[in-house]
Structure 1
Amino acid sequence: MKSIFFLLVCFVCVGLNAQTINLEAKAIELGVDRISKINGTKIYRLEKNDLYGFADENFSIIIPCENDYSEFIGDHYLRIRNLNGKCSLFDMSLKNYVQKDKHYISIIYTIITGDTTKSFFSSSNSIEDDSIIYDIEGKTIANIKDFSISMQGGNEYGIIMLENGNGSNFKMLNEFGKEIASFDYIYCPYKDRDFFYVRRDSNIYTNPIRKYGIVNHEGKELLKINYDKITFQEESIIITLKNKISVLDRNLKLKFRLENAIDADGVRGNAFLTQYPNNKWKVINTNGKTLFTVDAKKVESYPHNLFKVENQNSSYFVNMEGKTVSSE
C-alpha cells in the first residue's frame, strides 16, 4: 500500500513538474519572462520587462506585453492600461475588446430589474465632459458628460445612479438611459424597498436650507421632500419636521411620535436615543417604550449596546437598562 501511495505521489509531482516545464518552455518560445494561468479561465497572463500581456488556451497572444496595469473586473472582464495611459476593457470569454484606448474606464456596475440582471460601465476620452455609459456588450446607453456612476446607488429597481465630480448633484437614470429625476443628493437605504432618500438644497450661498424626502424608482414622492432630517434603521425610519419627531415603519406607516423631543437618532438593536429639553435623555425601543431616562449634558451610543453619559465633571457608561457598567 505504501509503495502504491509513493508511486501516486511521484506521478502527481511529475505531472506538476511537466506543467511547470511546459510553461517555462512556452515563455521561452513566446519570448516573455513568465507565463501564469489565470484561475477559472482559459487565459494566460504574460510578463515581459514588468509589462503585461495575455494569451489564449493555445498560447496565441491576444494582448501583447504593452501594459503596465491590469485588473480583473466582473466575471470575465479585464481592464488594462498601456504605456500611453490608455485604458481598454477586454472580454476574456469572447476574446475581444469591448472598449479600447480610452482615457478612463470604470468598474462594472450591476443593477437588477425584476428577474433580469444588467451590467454597465462608463468610459471617457481625454477631453472633459464626455463620459458615456455602455451596457456590457458595448452598446451606448447614455452620454453622462461630467457625471460618473455613483456607488450610492445599489438597488433592485433598475436605477443607474449618477453623481457629479464634487458630489453636489445626483441623477437617476432607468436601464435605458432615460433621466428619471435629479436631486442634490440621492441614496438607496434599503435594497429590498423601492425607496430613494433624496435631498434638495436652497439658498446654498447665503442661508443654506436642506430638505429631505423619499421617492420611488419612478421619481414619485413617497415622503414629501420637506423634512428637516430622516434617519434609517433596519426596521424603522425617524423623520423630523419643525421639531416634531415621528417613527415610521419600513412601509412608511406611523408607529409612534416622540412627543416634545428635540432630537432623536437610531442606535444598535433598533432602539432610539432621544434628547429632550433641560438635559433629559431617553432610550426608547421600537414599540415606543422608554427603557431608561437619564439627566446628562450629553449622551452618546457606543458598541455593545452601551451609552456614554457625560456631565460637567464626570462620565460613565450604562447599558440598555440604564445600569452603570463602568466609569471613565
Structure 2
Amino acid sequence: MTQERIILGFLLLLITACNKIENNSPKFYERIMGQNSWGYRDDKGNAIIPLGKYKFLNLIDEKGMIYANKGSKYGYIDIHEKIVVPFEYDALTVFSEELACVKKDNKYGFVDRKGKIIILIQFEDETFFRKNGLALVKKNSLYGFIDKKGKEVIPIVYQNANQVILDSLVTVKKQGKWAFFDSFGKQKTDFIYDEIASTSFNYKDTFWKNGLILVRKNKQIGYLDKNLKEIIPFGKYETGDRFNSNRIAIVSKNHKYGIIDEFGKEVVKTEYDTIEHPEESYHESEIFAAKKNNYLVLLDKNGKKIYDKIKDFSFDYCRLNKKIEKIYHVQDLNGKYGAIDTKGKLIIPIIYEEFQDFGSNDNAIVKYKGRFGLIDSNNKTTYPIENKAIYADRRELDYYVIKNKDNKYGIINKNLTPIFYFDFEDLSPCFYDIKNRFIAKKNGKYGVIDRLGGIIIPFQYSKMSNWVEYGPGKNYHFVTKDNKEGLITKEGKNVIPPIYDHLFYHNDKMIILSKDKKYGVVTIQNEQVIPFVYEKIYIEFGFFGDNKEAEFYVLKNGKYSIVNNKNEIIKSNISTQEVEDKFSYYN
C-alpha cells in the first residue's frame, strides 16, 4: 500500500498554473500561494478565493472540486467556496473511482462527491479503489478487499495482502504463504508461495504485464504466466530478477548469469560471472553490463551484444547526424579509450590515454601520446593534440584553459576562438566568477584579470589563493607579497595588509597572525582581538563555529596558558607536551 500512497500524494501535490472550468461561460482560474496559505484568482487577477483562509488548496479536479485544508481539518470545496465534503476529517485522499478515503478518530472510510459516507469509517489504514473495483483494507490487524459498496469481496481475515495498478489479480497471505485471487474474489491458486513479486511498468505496478510473474516456493524461484501457469519450473535457476519492461529477466544457474525471455528461452546464455544494469544519471540503465573473467561485455536492452571484451565504460552524449545522441566511452584491456554508438559501431577509435566526456558539446578533450587536444564526434582533431594540459567545465562549457607545449597558458572559447593568447605562466578561473574572472600569473607574479584582459588586481603577488569553502568566502583572496602574507578583497583592496610572516584563518572573528616572531589575533576587519605579544598561538580548528567562548592556547616566556578573546587568562601552566599533542596538525 505504500507505493499507492506515494503515487496519490504525487498527484495531490502537482502544481499547475491554471484550471479551466467548463460551464455556460468557460473561465480560467489561477491557483496562488501566499505565506502558509493558498487561494485562487480569475484571469483578470480578481481574488475568487482569498489568501489567508486555507492552508492548502489542490488543483480544481475534473468535477470542479478542490481538495482543501482548513485549520487542522480537510474537506472539499468548489471555486465559490461552497463546501462539498465538510471539514470534519483529519485526512482524506483525492477521489479514486469516484470515492475518497477519509480519516476520523484514527479510522478510515469512504465518501462520495456529495460528501455522503458510502463506506463506514472503520478501517485501520488509508486506502483507495483500483480500476478492478477493489480496495485493499485493514481491520483488526487483518487484510482483505472490499467493493465500492463496502461488501467484502475477499474476506478481511488474512495476514497480509497486495494489489497492483495494472492487473486484476490480487494476492493474500495466510499462515506465511501467499495465493492469487481474482477481482471477483475467486481463489486462483493454493496458498503455496513464499513470495510473489510485482514489478514496475511505466511507473505503475504489475504482476504480469512485463512478461512473467516471479514467485518463490520452498526456497526455489519459478515464473508464471498471466494465467498462473508455470512457464519456468521451480529450481531451474538459482536466482532470478523480475521481468523488465522489455520482457526479459536476469537469471543465474550454477553461479553463472544469463538472460531469459518470457517464453523461457535464454537470449543470453548463463555463462557470465555477473550481469547487472549499470547506473546512468542516477537511475538504472536499460542496458546490461556482463562480466566474464577479466573483461566486460555490453548488452543492449534486449540482451543483444553491443561490444565485447572491455575493461570499463561510461555514458556520454554527443552530436551525431545533427542530433544529440547517447554514446558509450569504452576502455580496452590495454587501458586505451574510444567510443561506440548504442548499436556498437566504433565512432572514436580506441587509441587515447584519456578521453573526457563530450557532455552534449561539439568537442571532447583527449590525451594521445602524452599530449592534450580536442576532437569532434567524427574523431577529427579540432584543436591540435600537442598541449601539456587542457581544462574545461563540461557541465557548463564556456571555454577551455590550455597549457601549451611551451608551458604557457591561454584560453579559447567553446567555438575554439582565442580569448587570451599564451601570455601567462598560470591561469585559472576564479571560483566566485568562473566565466568572467581569472587568476593569472605573469613575470612570476599573480593578479586577477577579466575576460577582456583588463587588470582587476595588479600582478604583484607571489601567491594568490582561489576561494575555498573553509576560507573567508568568495569575496577574498589570501596573498603573499615579498614573502609576507595578507588578505585582500576580490577587487584588490587590502583587508589584512601583506606584512605578516604567517596567517592562519580560523573564522572571520579569529585570524591568527605573526609578525617579527610575535603572534596575535585579528578579525576579518583587521581589528585586534589578541595583542601581538605571544611566541605561539593555537586554537582548535573547526569548520563550524559554536556559541561557546573562544579559547586560545598561547605561549609567552616559554610557558603555555589559555586565554579568552579578551586576552584574560582562563588557565595557566599548560604542559608543553599537551599542547604539542593537541595541535600537531599545525606543524
TM-score (norm 2): 0.41
Q: Which residue of the other structure, out of 340, 352, 360, is the alignment partner of 1:234?
A: 360
Offset, 1:40: 2.8
Decide whether aligned partners of structure 1 residues 307 and 176 sit closer, same or farther in structure 2, where only a CA change above 3 A counts: same
Aligned equivalents of 1:149, 1:300: Cα separation in 2: 44
Report if aligned partners of 2:430, 2:467 keep a CA contact under 8 Å in 1.
no
Q: 1:5 and 1:179, CA in 2 relative to 1: closer, same or farther beyond 3 A?
A: closer
SS in 1 for 2:356: strand
Work out the percentage of aligned pairs sharing the same amino acid: 14
* Aligned residue identity for 1:237: A
- Residue deviations 1:198-217 (CA, integer Å, cap 9, x gap): 21233xxxxxxx11112346
What is the 5 A alignment of 1:31-50?
32-49=158-175
Shift of 1:145: 1.3
Aligned pairs for 1:61-76 (under 5 A) are 61-62=188-189, 64=191, 66-68=193-195, 70-74=197-201, 76=209
1:151 maps to which of 273, 277, 286: 277
More moved, 210-219 vs 289-298: 289-298
Shift of the 56–241 alpha-carbon distance from structure 1 to 2, 3 Å rule, reads same
Q: Structure 2 stretches of 5 or more lacking a match?
A: 1-81, 87-111, 121-128, 130-134, 138-145, 281-285, 319-323, 441-461, 478-587
User: One-letter code of the match for 2:261?
Assistant: D
Residue in structure 2 matched with residue 326 of structure 1 by the alignment: 475
CA distance in 2, matches of 1:37, 1:179: 37
Q: Does 1:201 align with 2:333?
A: yes
User: 1:22 is matched with which residue: 148, 151, 168?
Assistant: 151
2:259 match: secondary structure: strand
Which residue is equivalent to 1:184? 311
Superposed, 1:159-178 pairs within 5 Å as: 161-164=288-291, 168-173=294-299, 177=304
| Residue identity opposite 1:103 in structure 2 | E
Verify: 1:87 aligned to 2:221, yes or no: yes
Shift in alpha-carbon separation, 1:267–1:4, aligned structure 2, 3 A: closer
Structure 1 unaligned segments of length 5 or more: list them: 111-117, 203-209, 318-323
How much is the aligned-residue C-alpha RMSD, in angstroms? Answer: 4.7
Q: Tell me, what secondary structure is at the counterpart of 1:268?
A: helix
Select which of 241, 244, 249 maps to 1:106.
241
Which of 389, 399, 403 in structure 2 is aligned with 1:262? Answer: 389
Q: For residues 241 and 61 of structure 1, do their structure 2 counterparts lie closer, same or farther at Cα, with a shift above 3 Å needed?
A: same
Question: Which SS does the other structure have where 2:347 is aligned?
Answer: strand
Partner of 1:225: 350
- Could you tell me how far 1:287 is from its partner in structure 2? 0.8
- Structure 2 distance, partners of 1:222, 1:104, is 37
Structure-2 separation of matches of 1:314 and 1:3 = 64
Change (3 A) 1:242 1:83: same
Structure 1 residues 51 and 176 mapped into 2: Cα distance closer, same or farther (>3 Å)? closer
Question: What is the CA deviation profile of residues 212-231 of structure 1, one whole-angstrom value per residue up to 9, with x for unaligned ones?
Answer: 11234665533221111111
Per mean C-alpha deviation after superposition, the further-off stretch among 303-312 and 142-151 is 303-312
Is the aligned partner of 1:315 residue 2:462?
no
Equivalent-residue separation in structure 2 for 1:4 and 1:152 (angstroms): 50
Match of 2:416 among 280, 288, 301: 288
SS at structure 2 position matched to 1:315: coil
2-structure distance, mates of 1:35, 1:201: 50
Partner letter of residue 221 of structure 2? C
Cα deviations across residues 235-265 of structure 1 (Å, max 9, x unaligned)? 2322221233232334444433365242435
- Partner AA of 1:326 in structure 2: N
CA gap of 1:138–1:285, structure 2 versus 1, over 3 A, is farther
What secondary structure is seen at the aligned counterpart in 1 of 2:147?
helix
Q: Which has the higher contact order (CA 8 A, sep 6+)?
A: 1
- Tell me, in whole angstroms, the C-alpha distance in 2 between the residues paired with 1:189 and 1:140: 30
CA distance in 1, matches of 2:177, 2:381: 61
Question: Which residue does 2:373 correspond to in 1?
Answer: 246
Conservation of the 8 A alpha-carbon contact between 1:147 and 1:162: no
**Partner Cα separation in structure 2 for residue 185 and residue 69 of structure 1:** 35
Deviations 1:73-114 (A, max 9, x none): 445354444462x334444x454445453321135456xxxx
Task: Show CA shifts across 1:108-156 (max 9, x none).
Answer: 456xxxxxxx44222123x223x231123332212141344342498xx
- How many Å apart are 1:184 and its aligned residue? 1.9
Q: Is 2:248 the counterpart of 1:120?
A: yes
Letter in 1 for 2:115: V
Distance 1:255 1:161 in 2: 33
| Alignment length (residue pairs) | 295
